[in-house]
């Protein structure tokens, strides 16, 4: 059976994702699609709209055949580490192809860009340090550094988020000497960060979340942009758990943490750089909402995403020593769900996987899994009463979701 791998968050699963999965299977003649999907907290340092279990149901209903969890250690990291973890999971699961969406859509330009950067790595890294020292964010510094090298050919635009991720996927495949082949599909219509609907059927996950959390908060407003199965699962989740997850739900917990920790302790949390701890404490003492807090701490040097990741690691009590940056590959494959085709693939190929498959928490232990469990517990705290208890119980009692 031929397997195509995708790296996803599905926050939530929408029509653009549906196009990507179907095209990935069709164009590359794959029997199944395997997703490495972020857990309850995401790469931009924010809580997922709905739990990983609800998002697994959305994925399986719309064409994905196997969903493995991308552990917190990788899911909440900058692009390079995020890509390394995802590639290690898909490679271990025997995926023949990693298919990613990109603004470029041209694999040859990615190959030329990677080769160019390999030949000019010392100058490139020096330029990144220079632009970072001038107060630019890391993503901005990468884009400026690349432009400053005056490439004479047609290369990938490294100011675009999905192009950056795609480049890191391909570099990770090379570094890990994975037998996977990389392929890319052009993203349709909507930009990654677009906040407003710009098409009749395709919208970014950002614009969908904005509509759900808007003043009206009407579900009907997003209906045309998501598969019917996603729409149904979102309604069901809202009814069962009392609402969706956003940073505002966690703000009282974060504020308490910042107010009761001293600067020296805050410095120990992952991604907190020297001097930032005082800014965090000062802003927490006056902000009434997470939005106010973020606006108070935002600077030219730190992107909103980077600061949200800092806040997330403080919220989850994740220290620098727990996120050792030299560790770039996963230790296990946590199975969240599979279709009938996916189960057939697992039965046929599992013995050849290079990592153990976990379907029960009691079957495995390790620091990465402990981080995932802790993150799941904190994720549940946004809800009240029975909803919180149910979310907590799911982490330990929910078996992989099976769909025919």
The tens digit of pLDDT for each residue in 300-339 reads 778 899 999 999 999 999 999 888 766 889 999 999 999 9
In this prediction, residues 94-119 reach a mean pLDDT of 93
Q: Which helix (H) or strand (E) holds 356?
A: none
Q: Which helix (H) or strand (E) holds 54?
A: helix 52-61
What region does 217 belong to: left with phi over 0, alpha with psi -120 to 50, or beta? left
Alpha helices by DSSP H, listed for 298-361, are 304-315, 340-349
Q: Is 245 annotated as a binding residue?
A: no
- Position 137 pLDDT exceeds 50: yes
Second-level CATH architecture of 3-103+184-192+328-403: 3-Layer(aba) Sandwich (3.40)
Predicted local confidence at residue 143, as pLDDT: 85
- CA proximity to 382, closest of 254, 291, 210, 285: 254
Q: Is 130 annotated as a binding residue?
A: no
Structure tokens at 171: 């570099």
Rounded Cα–Cα distance for residues 321 and 269 (Å): 9
Q: Is 347 annotated as a binding residue?
A: no
Predicted local confidence at residue 189, as pLDDT: 52
- Position 192 pLDDT exceeds 60: no
Tell me what percent of the residues of the chain surpass a pLDDT of 90: 73
With cut-offs at 50, 70 and 90, classify the pLDDT of residue 190: very low
Q: Is 50 annotated as a binding residue?
A: no
Q: Is 366 annotated as a binding residue?
A: no
Alpha helices by DSSP H, listed for 94-227, are 107-119, 121-133, 138-148, 161-175, 205-212
Q: Is 19 annotated as a binding residue?
A: yes
Specify the domain boundaries for CATH 3.40.50.620 within the chain: 3-103+184-192+328-403
In this prediction, residues 219-238 reach a mean pLDDT of 94
Q: Is-contact 48 9, C-beta < 8 A?
A: yes
Tell me what percent of the residues of the chain surpass a pLDDT of 70: 95
Q: Which range among 136-145, 147-156, 392-401 has the greatest average pLDDT? A: 392-401
Q: Is 94 annotated as a binding residue?
A: no
Q: Is 16 annotated as a binding residue?
A: yes
Predicted local confidence at residue 217, as pLDDT: 62
Predicted local confidence at residue 13, as pLDDT: 96
Q: Which of 24-33, 187-196, 206-215, 272-281 has the lowest mean pLDDT?
A: 187-196
Q: Is 21 annotated as a binding residue?
A: no
Predicted local confidence at residue 285, as pLDDT: 94
Predicted local confidence at residue 214, as pLDDT: 76
With cut-offs at 50, 70 and 90, classify the pLDDT of residue 174: very high
Strand ranges in 205-252 using DSSP code E only, listed in sequence order: none
Q: Is 17 annotated as a binding residue?
A: yes
Cβ neighbour number for residue 174 with a 10 Å cutoff: 12
Q: Is 10 annotated as a binding residue?
A: yes
Predicted local confidence at residue 135, as pLDDT: 80
Predicted local confidence at residue 196, as pLDDT: 46
Overall size of the chain counted in residues: 404
Q: Is 60 annotated as a binding residue?
A: no
Q: Is 101 annotated as a binding residue?
A: yes
Query: Mean pLDDT score of the chain, rounded to an integer?
Result: 92
Q: Which helix (H) or strand (E) holds 98?
A: strand 97-102
Q: Is 22 annotated as a binding residue?
A: no
Predicted local confidence at residue 303, as pLDDT: 86
Rounded Cα–Cα distance for residues 183 and 357 (Å): 26
Q: Is-contact 61 122, C-beta < 8 A?
A: no
Q: Which residues of 80-112 are buried (b: 16+ CB within 10 A; e: fewer)?
A: ebbbbbbbbbbbbbbbbbbbbbbbbeebebbeb
pTM for this prediction: 0.93
- CA proximity to 132, closest of 269, 278, 312, 273: 273
Q: Is 14 annotated as a binding residue?
A: yes
**Pairwise pLDDT comparison (360 vs 56), residue with the higher score:** 56
């Amino acid at each position: 059976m031929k397997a195509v791998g995708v790296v996803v968050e599905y926050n939530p699963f929408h029509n653009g994702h549906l196009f990507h999965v179907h095209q990935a299977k069709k164009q590359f003649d794959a029997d199944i699609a395997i997703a490495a999907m972020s857990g309850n907290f995401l790469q931009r340092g924010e809580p997922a709209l709905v739990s990983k279990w609800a998002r697994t149901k959305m994925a399986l209903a719309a064409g994905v055949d196997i969903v493995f969890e991308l552990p917190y250690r990788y899911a909440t990291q900058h692009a390079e580490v995020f890509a390394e973890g995802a590639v290690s999971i898909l490679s271990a699961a025997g995926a023949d192809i990693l298919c990613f969406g990109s603004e470029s859509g041209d694999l040859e330009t990615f190959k030329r860009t990677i080769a160019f950067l390999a030949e000019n790595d010392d100058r490139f890294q020096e330029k990144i340090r220079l632009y970072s020292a001038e107060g630019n964010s890391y993503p901005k510094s990468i884009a400026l550094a690349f432009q400053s090298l005056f490439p004479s050919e047609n290369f990938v635009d490294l100011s675009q988020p999905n192009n950056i991720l795609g480049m890191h996927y391909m570099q990770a495949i090379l570094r890990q000497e994975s037998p996977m082949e990389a392929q890319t599909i052009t993203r349709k219509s909507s930009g990654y960060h677009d906040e407003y609907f710009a098409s009749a059927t395709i919208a970014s996950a950002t614009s969908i979340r904005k509509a759900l959390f808007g003043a009206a908060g009407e579900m009907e407003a997003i209906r045309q942009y998501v598969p019917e199965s996603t729409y149904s699962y979102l309604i069901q989740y809202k009814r069962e758990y009392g609402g969706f997850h956003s940073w505002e739900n966690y703000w009282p917990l974060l504020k308490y943490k910042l107010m009761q920790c001293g600067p020296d302790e805050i410095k120990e949390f992952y991604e907190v750089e020297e001097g930032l701890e005082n800014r965090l404490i000062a802003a927490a003492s006056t902000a009434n909402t997470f939005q106010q807090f973020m606006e108070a701490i935002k600077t030219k040097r730190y992107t909103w995403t980077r600061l949200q990741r800092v806040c997330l690691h403080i919220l989850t009590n994740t220290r620098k020593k727990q996120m050792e940056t030299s560790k770039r590959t996963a230790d296990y494959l946590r199975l969240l769900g599979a279709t009938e085709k996916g189960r057939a693939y697992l039965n046929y190929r599992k013995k050849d996987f290079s990592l153990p498959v976990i379907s029960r928490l009691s079957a495995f232990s390790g620091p990465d899994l402990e981080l995932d469990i802790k993150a799941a517990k904190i994720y549940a705290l946004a809800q009240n009463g029975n909803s919180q208890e149910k979310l907590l119980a799911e982490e330990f009692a929910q078996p992989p979701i099976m769909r025919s």
